[in-house]
Structure 1
Amino acid sequence: MRVMVLVKATEDSERNILPKRVDLEAMGRFNDELRNAGILRDCDGLKPSSYGKRIAFDGSSRTVIDGPFAQSRELVAGFWLWTVKDMDEAVDWVKRCPNPMPGPSEIEIRPMFESADLE
């Protein structure tokens, strides 16, 4: 099963306040564990939404919307792509993850569509 693990943005991450070096090193060790277990496919952090753009679609019309975007708790600050046996395994790994933010934070796990889901 493939999942995308989403690190939700916080007010700090949207202000471009980066984790401390010790926290980044802990996350690096966690990523090494994921890699060694054969689970990690890709991962990265995202810059604040002020660096981003959204494109709104309405029929043939396209409108570009500049960041920053409202509701930081609804935004994504980083992600992993994992291959796990099931959602329970993904949850177990997330529970082992160091807190990705300096303060309170959330991580969301979303299963990805497989070809069998689309038949």
Structure 2
Amino acid sequence: MKYMLIMRGTDESNAAMMANIDEMMVTSRKFIEDLFKAGVYVAAEGLDDPSTGVVVDFSGEAPVVTDGPYGETKELFGGFFLVDVASKEEAVEWAKRVPAAPGAKVEVRRVPGEDEVPAGN
């Protein structure tokens, strides 16, 4: 089963991470190496600073594009690790090992298989 370990940071945790970016990069590379050696690594990516993105809002008749980030910056999606593990519990154990700054969170979400997605008529 695939699970996405979604990195969710705050302005404060992102600032703390950037203050120690060299150490964080070394730790992240080691974590990815551990995932790979365990045979559970599928993918991992980080995202650029939220201020460089845009939001496409579909709440009106036509989509409206505004500069990012989202309305509230309490918790921003900063990147992910995609793992292929035997259970949710195993995914949670890997999530506990994610290198993260104090105040950050890791959301664990299963990625449904292709056979689980409803077919359209």
Return 9-18 or 58-67, whichever deviates more: 9-18
Contact 2:54 2:67 in 1 (8 A): yes
Percent of aligned positions with the same letter in both sequences? 27
Q: Aligned residue for 1:97?
A: 98
Distance 2:94 2:21 in 1: 22
Contact 2:9 2:77 in 1 (8 A): yes
Contact 2:41 2:82 in 1 (8 A): yes
Contact 1:14 1:48 in 2 (8 A): no
* Superposition pairs of residues 30-45 of structure 1, within 5 angstroms: 30-45=31-46
Contact 2:17 2:24 in 1 (8 A): no
Question: Are 2:6 and 1:6 equivalent residues in the alignment?
Answer: yes
Superposition CA RMSD, Å: 2.3
- Size of the aligned set, in residue pairs, is 117
- Secondary structure of 1:80's match? strand
State the TM-score, normalizing by the size of structure 1.
0.83
State the TM-score, normalizing by the size of structure 2.
0.82
* C-alpha spacing 1:18/1:47, structure 2 compared with 1 (3 Å): farther
